[in-house]
Structure 1
Amino acid sequence: MAVLNPYLNFNGNTEDAFNFYKSVFGGEFFMLMRIGDVKDVPGFDKLSEADKSKIMHISLPIGKSDVLMGTDIVESMGQQKVSGNNFSIAIGTESKDEADKLFNGLSAGGNVAMPMGDTFWGAYYGMFTDKFGIQWMISYDTQNVPANNR
């Protein structure tokens, strides 16, 4: 069964926000990846040092099965944070088939920003805004799955 997690977007203060959330919820970050840590994304090498220091992905486990995740908006790449796009619902699936089923069903009548496909970070991933204006991210983590089960 799929797992739902909130994914928050910030204007350059993701790290501050997540340190605050960590102080309230406790625990340790599961992942903290800066934009400058990524080498395989076209155009990232042209970003300013300030943009490279921004958070590409951060995750903080909360409770037994929930994860709060976030990222910084990179305005130099044409991204903007406006009311309504500062969060997404991230769904982690148990298979590619489940990912495709949820993606195709939820994106019907909406706007696909990134079709389902393999990513440089090792996931099968896609994102879209549904016909009601809600942003979704669907992901199947292929890195933690034996090759014969992918």
Structure 2
Amino acid sequence: MIVQSYLMFNGRCEEAIEFYRKALGAQVTMMMRFKENPEPMADGCAGGPAPDPNSVMHASFKIGETELMASDGMGGGKPEFKGISLSLTAPSDAEAKRLFNALADGGKIEMPMDKTFFASSFGMVADRFGVSWMVINPLPMP
């Protein structure tokens, strides 16, 4: 079984993926726009308005070895990511700091990067799209 994150960016999907490409080295593995749908929708999903044909219907991208999926959804407004964080494990303190700072560009630091009892580096940041990230370089387990 595999559990994957599916992020709905409400009209900012392509912008978000480009940000993750630059900040985290994300690699796009697939992107389809609503206009490329082989079975075009007459109306929007769940009774909503028809989506912008140029918006992203579905995308897949990899950050490191992890595959994430994303969409513009119906593009109905500001995306909201509540009650969930993505955790990013870095191989060194320097890399943790670099990744944290890249995600913080235009975002909001929720917990500054610092040493903790469980990590030589740990911090929490909400990126410019509102996605919450925990960046960690964990201490070795005893």
TM-score under structure 1 length normalisation:
0.44
Q: Which has the higher helix share?
A: 1
Structure exhibiting the larger radius of gyration computed from Cα positions = 2
